[in-house]
Structure 1
Amino acid sequence: MRLPEPVYKLIACQFLWRTLFCISIAAITWLGFTSEPYPIPSAASDKVNHLLAFMELAILTRLGWPRLGLMPPLLVLTGFGLALELGQSITPWRDFALSDLLADVIGILLGYGLMTMFFRFTAARPAA
């Protein structure tokens, strides 16, 4: 499937994806530690929130740093998820959940899988 040329240019805009990645990291960190009710719509299940957040991070990582492959982002993003869980364990309003970390890893793998399928079926290639 051939995409319009502006879409290819957008896919190649690594600065945009890296900026969105940094904003997402900041937002996810804030949401992970706030004691306030979420000011944004969220899923009924905390596990779905984790899965979606880390799927987004994986997609942004794939677009922003296309040469990395899977393992470095998997390790770094899983480490970020672990750091969030450990940080939450010392707050009075959150706690550590290994199942949240598992949802993070599944989200990372799904995000990378979706991007792999997207690139395969659209003839789009991430910038080198």
Structure 2
Amino acid sequence: MDKIYKLMFYGCLIVIEFLATTTQEIKPLEHSWDKANHFIAFMTLYVLLTLAYKKLSIKAKVLILLAFGVQIEIVQSFIPGREVSGFDVFADSIGIGIGIGAYLLYKKRLNNEK
């Protein structure tokens, strides 16, 4: 099952990188609140990273995902029409926090069902 979670994690990582760096207009995303896109993406990434790499500490997962978020902002600084935003990294952080909470609730629920 870990292989499936790893495939899902890296698949999401690639899709998020593409969406964050493309110059193409993607209509559903253009009309949504940008910060919501960030925290939904990073919440999903946190949960998938946790399922794929159970032995990583929370701190390591947070650092990996924040580094990914900062990397996106750096790449966007070189793309015409895109800009760097510290608020985007803040939204990524909120998403990671929500992901931590969601995973802990999921894990607690699983343990209660046993």
- After TM superposition, the score normalised by the length of structure 2 is 0.91
Q: CA deviation at 1:69?
A: 2.3
Q: CA deviation at 1:122?
A: 2.0
Aligned residue number for residue 79 of structure 1 = 67
Aligned residue number for residue 58 of structure 1 = 46
**Structure 1 residue ranges (4+ consecutive) displaced by more than 2 angstroms after TM superposition:** none
1:14 matches 2:14: no
1:89 matches 2:59: no
Distance 2:43 2:25 in 1: 22
Q: CA deviation at 1:34?
A: 0.6
1:31 matches 2:32: no
* Unmatched 5+ stretches in structure 2: none
Aligned positions of 1:33-48 closer than 5 A: 33-38=21-26, 41-42=28-29, 44-48=32-36
1:120 matches 2:96: no
Give 1:106's match in structure 2, choosing from 75, 94, 98.
94
Query: What is the number of residues matched between the two proteins?
Result: 111
- Structure index of larger Rg: 1
Q: CA deviation at 1:29?
A: 0.6
Structure with a larger share of its residues in helix: 2
Q: CA deviation at 1:72?
A: 0.3
Distance 2:97 2:5 in 1: 18
Q: Percent identity?
A: 30
Q: Deviations over 1:58-115 (max 9, x none)?
A: 0101110112121001001000000000110111110000000000011011111101
1:49 matches 2:63: no
